[in-house]
Amino acid sequence: MSHGQKAKFRVLIAADTYPPHVNGAAKSCYRLATNLTARGYDVHVVSPHHTGGPDTVEYHDEATVHRLKSYAAPTHEFYRLVMPRHANRVIDNLVSELSPDVVHAQCHYMIGDAAISSAERRRIRLICTNHFMPENLDPFIPGPQFFKNIVSKRSWYDMGRLMRKANVVTTPTRLSADNMNDKARLDYVVPVSNGIDVVKYELEEQESIVRHPHPTALFVGRLAVEKNVDVLLKALTMTDPDLNVHAEIIGDGELRDSLRRLADQLGVADRVVFRGLVSDEELREAYLRADVFTQPCTAELQSLASLEAMSASTPVVLTDAMALPHLVSEGVNGYLFQPNNPEDMARKMNTVLGASREEQLAMGQASHYFASQHDHERIMDILHKIYHGATSDEVSVMISEAKLR
């Protein structure tokens, strides 16, 4: 069957990052494609090629992936740039050929821009989702801060200009929606969680996990500036010596070498394991083995890693910034600490790791309950209705009812 012949409801997902890239937005897009395909949708993804080379089409279990010729961003380790003229031409041709029922843009840069414009031109139902804040690009933009501020302001303007064309605009959290309403002048953004497979991270019947020999704090994420992994390493030096707290760090990124050097300089290298990238099964086991999950990032719009850890019934110590406070009930499933304050982080880690096993288990169970509110089946029900015509107001009502349940 050619692309033009449709037997199923067809969705075109436009994304500026997609696996094998490893980051929250790429993971969210992959999960969206996988869940849509499982529900019988015909899913296509258009994204930058993750290496050099011409436009290609890849056939994966979760989707048909259309890769566009791209170029390495000079200031970022993995981000790829697609030239606007090329993106506009190829994506417009692709939309014309596929004739999707819905275009779901996951960004407003390059590929997102082209997909939004094409969907509007062809009167195709358009959904836009925003995964990050323009300020997150600051570390990768050369020049003084005033120039970075100009770029950020322009990005917010472009977000509003483009996403205003959508039938429904979503973002993972209420905080992000409020920011977009304020800075991008969008007045109808609805918070729709990215969703996670809660059951995947639960301990199965008859399954046992060997605990760490020492109380262990886990971090999962990119080793990038905005993740503030250095705060965790510094906090480790301030934890109670009697607890002998260790740290397990999963992920890779441009700061991998400097963080290893910092661990040496701080004298905690013997208590830190840098595992790099791991398989899904190894990641699941790490969540289940961890005594506490930590997230020192100050720029999280949702933090899928935190939700995954919570699904594994793990207590959390998260920074009191952006969307993370929404994941913590103080003293119930964990604690918040002041941003970029390793001393406060250490205090909160001591509180969790110094608690009795019964108290830790109770915090873990509370974490699991909070994470279950983001179960992907519930989120997919909402997206299904969005794709088939639900308005922003109707989506808001659905989300409120889901929380009441």
Q: What's residue 95's pLDDT?
A: 97
Residue 269 has pLDDT above 70, yes or no: yes
- Considering the domain architecture, whether residues 388 and 300 belong to the same structural domain is answered as no
Asked whether residue 242 falls in the same domain as residue 334, the answer is yes
Assess if residue 3 is contained within a domain. Answer: no
pLDDT at residue 97 in the model: 96
Residue 20 lies in a domain: yes
User: Which domain CATH number covers 32?
Assistant: 3.40.50.2000
Quickly list DSSP for 254-299.
Answer: TTHHHHHHHHHHHT-GGGEEEEES--HHHHHHHHHH-SEEEE--S-
Phi then psi for 144, rounded to 5 degrees?
-70, 165
Residue 179's pLDDT band (boundaries 50, 70, 90)? confident
- Regarding predicted confidence, which is higher, 228 or 74? 228
pLDDT tens digits along 3-51: 555 678 999 999 998 998 877 788 889 999 999 999 999 999 999 998 8
- Residues pairing with 104 in the sheet: 13, 127
pLDDT of residue 140: 63
Q: Label residue 267 by pLDDT band (50, 70, 90).
A: very high
User: Per-residue confidence at 166, pLDDT binned at 50, 70, 90?
Assistant: very high
Same domain, 221 and 284: yes
- Does residue 81 carry a pLDDT above 70? yes
5 in a structural domain: no
Shared domain for 29 and 165, answered yes or no, is yes
Residue 264 domain-assigned?
A: yes
Instruction: Note whether residue 26 is domain-resident.
Output: yes
Residues 352 and 393 in one domain: no
Same domain, 246 and 343: yes
Average pLDDT for residues 253-278, to the nearest whole number? 95
Mean pLDDT of 203-214: 88
Percent above pLDDT 90 for the chain: 63
What letter does residue 334 receive in the DSSP assignment?
E
Note whether 223 and 339 are same-domain residues. yes
pLDDT band at residue 403 using 50, 70 and 90 as cut-offs? low
Average model confidence (pLDDT) for the chain? 90
- Name the DSSP class of 340: T
Supply the pLDDT for residue 33.
96
My answer on whether 170 and 47 are in the same domain is: yes
Does residue 136 lie within any of the structural domains? Answer: yes
Instruction: Provide the CA 53 distance to its chain's centre, in angstroms.
Output: 27
What's the pTM value of the predicted model, to 2 decimals? 0.79
* pLDDT tier for residue 225 given thresholds of 50, 70 and 90: confident
Give domain status of residue 4, yes or no. no
Q: What percent of the chain has pLDDT over 70?
A: 94
**Claim to verify: residue 184 and residue 210 sit in the same structural domain:** no
pLDDT at 264 over 90: yes
Q: φ, ψ for residue 246 (rounded to 5)?
A: -110, 170
Query: Looking at the structure, do residues 88 and 203 belong to the same domain, yes or no?
Result: no
Domain extent, residue 128, equals: 10-195+377-404
Burial 134-171 (b: 16+ CB within 10 A, else e): bbbbbebbeeeeeebeeebeebbebbbebbeebbbbbb
1 assigned to some structural domain? no
pLDDT of residue 271: 97
Integer Cα distance of 17 and 357 in angstroms: 41
Q: What is the pLDDT of residue 404?
A: 42
Whether 143 and 99 share a structural domain = yes
If you average pLDDT over residues 148-153, what whole number do you get? 79
* The pLDDT of residue 296: 96
Chain segment 313-342, per-residue pLDDT in tens: 999 999 998 889 989 999 999 999 999 999
Give the pLDDT score at 51: 84
The total domain count for the chain is 2
**Same domain (yes/no): 259, 357:** yes
Per residue in 83-141, pLDDT tens?
999 999 999 999 999 999 999 999 898 999 999 999 999 999 999 999 877 666 666 66
CA pair distance 374, 296, nearest whole angstrom: 21
